[in-house]
Structure 1
């Protein structure tokens, strides 16, 4: 995924959509612009209705809630753009002098940390919906598995074959890494739990060290 703001990319895609009525396109474009300018939490459906020149009831009739309105534009965007964005991320990381798996892991965490910081409110809405919406999880799972998980699994397998990682299945290592990193992002950006006074760079290094201590293959001399 690129490091640009997702809302800008979503606006561009929404303008090209032929699946919505003129009124729906106006609502979507207005909503996303307001989200980008004021923040998702600070934008009300009444403001969206005012600037889109529609009744607030029209928004509720088409989308039900503000979360559903945002998801209605995020989900098509994720499905259409995920392959290209994933390719951009992984090709960028794997060309940054990635000499070992630790380098890859550190670059991946930093890349996604920056991305989530720039798109925090979208991340919060999507994660919240994924936690409670079984249908949404099933809908997005194939896209996520094919474009993200499989790519990371291939990288893990490559470094396993080089003798860097412990001799367990790549899927097991992937689940271990995903659980730790995913929990870190959710606790920081969704639950917004208080962290220590250490800076972001130190947080990332601690996270990388914690993971690598569990999956790094011990030296033969140890």
Structure 2
């Protein structure tokens, strides 16, 4: 990759994270990268191709499969004294990943709903690397009597929705708010396990 391409990708990443894909023009990207707008189109036919050049190699081809493998080894292939300990490890593991990759995750989640290619890749990675191991953990804690006999898909959906919702709020929607991260992690674990009623 040429220096100009690196500058274009860096500028596009920053602007897409700040303003969103739709609100960012290629002219703005060119100015921030210090290149002519035509230079962008010599490397990327469309702005969407530029978006895919940022998200696909970095997140889908590089980070997500590695993340999924690393994630399953770090979280799903360990033994825990109870389901709470599993949930805590799951949240802390994803929290650190989100902290280190905030800008890219912001772009990824902002654009996930608008681009079929991103959704398809996300689904493929989850189904290939995570789903079976997640079901195995849920079945184990059901047998131990710690989880209700809800369908595994319902339990997974509840966990993923709450954990991803926390991460998106923390690192995408309100990254500059005054967060007490440790307290918020504990609150998240508590309401996942016990709800919000007294």
Q: What band does the TM-score fall into relative to the shorter chain? A: 0.7 to 0.9
1:138 counterpart = 2:120: yes
Deviations 1:75-123 (A, max 9, x none): 1344434333222223223576622121111111111111111111101
Deviations 1:50-92 (A, max 9, x none): 4xxxx32221451533x75253143134443433322222322
- How does the TM-score come out when normalised to structure 1? 0.68
Let me know the Cα RMSD of the aligned residues.
3.3
Which runs of no fewer than 5 residues in structure 2 stay unpaired? 20-27
Question: 1:130 offset after TM fit, Å?
Answer: 0.6
Q: Distance in 1 between matches of 2:149 and 2:108?
A: 35
Counterpart selection for 1:48 from 8, 14, 33:
33
Q: Distance in 1 between matches of 2:17 and 2:159?
A: 30
1:210 counterpart = 2:186: no
Q: Distance in 2 between matches of 1:110 and 1:207?
A: 11
Counterpart selection for 1:129 from 103, 106, 111:
111
Which runs of no fewer than 5 residues in structure 1 stay unpaired? 1-14, 16-24, 215-222
Q: Is the 8 A contact 2:11 2:33 kept in 1?
A: yes
1:76 counterpart = 2:57: yes
Task: Give the total of aligned pairs.
Answer: 185
- How does the TM-score come out when normalised to structure 2? 0.75
Counterpart selection for 1:200 from 181, 186, 198:
181
